[in-house]
Amino acid sequence: MTDPTIISARTISARALANTQRTVESYEGFAREYDKLCSEKLPLVVEDALRRMVQWVPVIGSVLDIGCGPGREADFVESLGAVVRRTDAAQAFLDVQAERGKQAELLNVVIDELGGPYDAVLALCVLIHVDREQIDPVLDKIRRALRTGGAFLVSMRTGEGETSGKYHTVYWTRDQFAARLVAAGLSVHWETQSVDSDDDEWITLLARRAR
């Protein structure tokens, strides 16, 4: 049987693969500094969004955390009673979590299959690095990884265009990204806007698998 990851990789442009690889390599070198920059206490807006997601997760239900980074959000979701599969594309983040007794797995949302089905999928501050041409295939993978009615919590930096330095970043307006969710079969149930410490504007949306 052919590896589905190989099939997926063949459908991705060389540009998208290069941007993904460059972003992962940048996080490999920045993971420990990133960990130090993260507060042990999550921002209230993030805690509120995670609580709203977990409302749709049964007791000891399963949550896939895509791009878990240092794992603060996964810690919080677990404290609410869910079982989290922690994943990240950067080995350095997995090492950071292993040092505090947490198990995480390598997973690149662009090229890897996601497994499942899960009661919820979490992707905070991560899909901003997915090439615009790849967002529909990625959202389709996420929908397929969810149980019917399962929840998807995602945050995106809002704006226009993209930047391609050490980290490839794609900006979306609220309406543009919400439309991609709907096209993927994910219905938006809640959303909030916020501004981070760098004055970047973000939109966080809670959607559910509609079919």
Domains and CATH numbers, the chain: 4-209 (3.40.50.150)
Residues 105, 68 contacting (CB under 8 angstroms): no
Q: Where are the alpha helices (DSSP H) in the chain?
A: 4-10, 14-37, 44-54, 72-79, 91-98, 135-145, 174-183
Cα separation, 143 vs 117, whole angstroms? 9
Looking at residue 136, its pLDDT comes to 97
Q: What is the pLDDT of residues 119-139, one digit of tens each?
A: 999 999 999 999 999 999 999
pLDDT in tens, 65-120: 999 999 999 999 999 999 999 999 999 999 999 999 999 999 999 999 999 999 99
**Does position 153 have pLDDT exceeding 60, yes or no?**
yes
| pTM of the entire predicted model | 0.93
User: Is residue 3 pLDDT above 70, yes or no?
Assistant: no
Window from 1-5, 14-18, 30-34, 175-179 with minimum mean pLDDT: 1-5
CB contact set of 175 (below 8 Å; sequence gap of 6+): none
Pairing mode of beta strands 201-209, 186-195? antiparallel
The residue assigned the tokens 């439309």 is: 179
Alpha carbon distances (Å) from 159 to 148, 190, 200 = 31, 20, 9
Give SS3 for 70: coil
Residues recorded for the chain: 211
Q: What is the pLDDT of residue 10?
A: 53
CA distance 146 to 151: 7
Dihedral over alpha carbons 105, 107, 112, 116 (to 10 degrees) = 60
Tell me whether residue 74 is exposed, middle or buried, using C-beta atoms within 10 angstroms of its C-beta: 0 to 12, 13 to 18, 19 or more: buried
Alpha-carbon distances, residue 101 vs 31, 75, 176 (angstroms): 17, 11, 39
Whole-number Cα distances in Å, 12 to 102, 112, 199: 32, 12, 33
Would you say 23 and 167 are in contact if contact means Cβ atoms under 8 Å apart? Answer: yes
Residue 203 three-state SS: strand
For the beta carbon of residue 81, count every other beta carbon within 10 angstroms: 12
Average pLDDT over the chain, rounded to an integer: 93
Six token digits for residue 201:
């504007």
